[in-house]
């Protein structure tokens, strides 16, 4: 597997978090919680994670990553009091941030990639690169940054790409690379990926994604089935080819091509 860190294309990339001004505030300034709401307290996230574990979240790594990211920093100030409830929330431009239990479920599936379970004895972040299609507000990218070596996250809507950049700036996550681009094309310079995760669902899994998946890697994405219903799909890349598993019904925003 190619373990070299890919170079960043100027045309696609925005400023990676690591090049943010050194004097950026330690805490994000956006969507600050009104004082006294207690959202800054880790107890709020602990409660959310406990609920997710009770609902079936099995990976301790994923639970730890979810504990670390302040979800209320990614939603509009009018919605901060709902940030830790098990609900999807609007993030602008007709898009939504997924419910915490859907984020947890998908990450739980992703970290079970064979290439990763083989490396699971190591502490800290899992080795390898991951591609997220649909940055949205940047919340899941932040969670991924605590799980994986490098995170490439693509968004087709400029407004959300910029919002995610603003939301993430103060977290100073040097391993998150935000890309303005059509995620249906993947991002070949970061390939191969040990994990690919999509936050938007199409009628098929694009071949570019499976092409860009590493051997032993896993893709987790919503995909519309023959009955017209969207379901969560897992694709594993093995020596014997691609193995697809269709899981429970889900409701994600549509995967669309091109930039807007």
**114 by DSSP, 3-state: which?**
helix
Considering only residues 92 to 151 of the shown chain, the ones binding ligand SAH according to CB under 6 A are 95-98, 133-134, 136-137, 139-140
When asked if residue 156 is in the footprint of ligand SAH (CB under 6 A), the reply is yes
* Token pair recorded at residue 116: 């990763």
When asked if residue 68 is in the footprint of ligand SAH (CB under 6 A), the reply is no
Among positions 147, 199, 205, 213, the unique one binding ligand SAH when judged by CB under 6 A = 199
Q: Report the nearest approach of ligand SAH to the CB of residue 167 (Å).
A: 9
DSSP codes joined into one string, 122-139: S-SSEEEEEEEE--TTSH
* 14 classed as catalytic: no
When asked if residue 257 is in the footprint of ligand SAH (CB under 6 A), the reply is yes
Q: Report the nearest approach of ligand SAH to the CB of residue 135 (Å).
A: 6
Strand partners, 222: 232
When asked if residue 223 is in the footprint of ligand SAH (CB under 6 A), the reply is no
CA dihedral angle for residue 239, residue 241, residue 243, residue 244, rounded to 10 degrees = 150
CB 75 within 8 A of CB 26: no
CB 158 within 8 A of CB 260: yes
When asked if residue 256 is in the footprint of ligand SAH (CB under 6 A), the reply is yes
Phi-psi region at 228: left, alpha or beta (left = phi > 0; alpha = psi -120 to 50) = left
| Nearest CB to ligand SAH, comparing residues 139 and 193 | 139
CB 218 within 8 A of CB 236: yes
Single out the segment in contact with ligand SAH by CB under 6 A; choices: 39-47, 112-120, 182-190, 230-238.
182-190
Q: Which of 59, 98, 145, 153 is catalytic?
A: 98
When asked if residue 196 is in the footprint of ligand SAH (CB under 6 A), the reply is no
Q: Give the count of residues interacting with ligand SAH (CB under 6 A).
A: 25
- What are the angstrom distances between the C-alpha of 205 and each of 43, 130, 192, 224, 250? 38, 16, 17, 9, 15
Residues carrying an active site annotation: 98
Binding site for ligand SAH (CB under 6 A): 91, 95-98, 133-134, 136-137, 139-140, 154-157, 160, 182-184, 199-200, 253, 255-257
């Amino acid at each position: 597997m190619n373990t070299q860190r890919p170079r960043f294309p100027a045309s696609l990339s925005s400023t990676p978090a690591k090049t943010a001004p050194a004097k950026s505030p330690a805490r994000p300034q956006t969507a600050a919680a009104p004082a006294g709401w207690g959202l800054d307290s880790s107890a709020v996230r602990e409660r959310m994670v406990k609920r997710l574990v009770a609902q079936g979240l099995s990976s301790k790594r994923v639970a730890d990553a979810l504990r670390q990211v302040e979800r209320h920093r990614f939603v509009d100030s009018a919605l901060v009091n709902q940030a830790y409830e098990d609900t999807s929330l609007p993030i602008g431009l007709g898009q939504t941030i997924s419910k915490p239990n859907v984020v947890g479920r998908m990450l739980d599936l992703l970290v079970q990639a064979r290439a990763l379970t083989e490396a699971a004895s190591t502490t800290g972040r899992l080795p390898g690169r991951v591609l997220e299609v649909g940055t949205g507000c940047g919340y899941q990218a932040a969670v991924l940054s605590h799980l994986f070596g490098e995170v490439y996250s693509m968004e087709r809507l400029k407004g959300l790409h910029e919002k995610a950049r603003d939301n993430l700036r103060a977290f100073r996550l040097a391993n998150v690379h935000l890309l303005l681009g059509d995620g249906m094309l993947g991002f070949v310079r970061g390939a191969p990926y040990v994990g690919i995760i999509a936050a938007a669902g199409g009628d098929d899994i694009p071949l570019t994604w499976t092409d860009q998946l590493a051997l032993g890697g896993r893709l987790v994405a919503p995909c519309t089935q023959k009955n017209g219903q969207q379901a969560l799909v897992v694709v594993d890349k093995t020596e014997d080819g691609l193995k697809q598993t269709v899981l429970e019904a889900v409701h994600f925003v549509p995967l669309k091509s091109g930039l807007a």
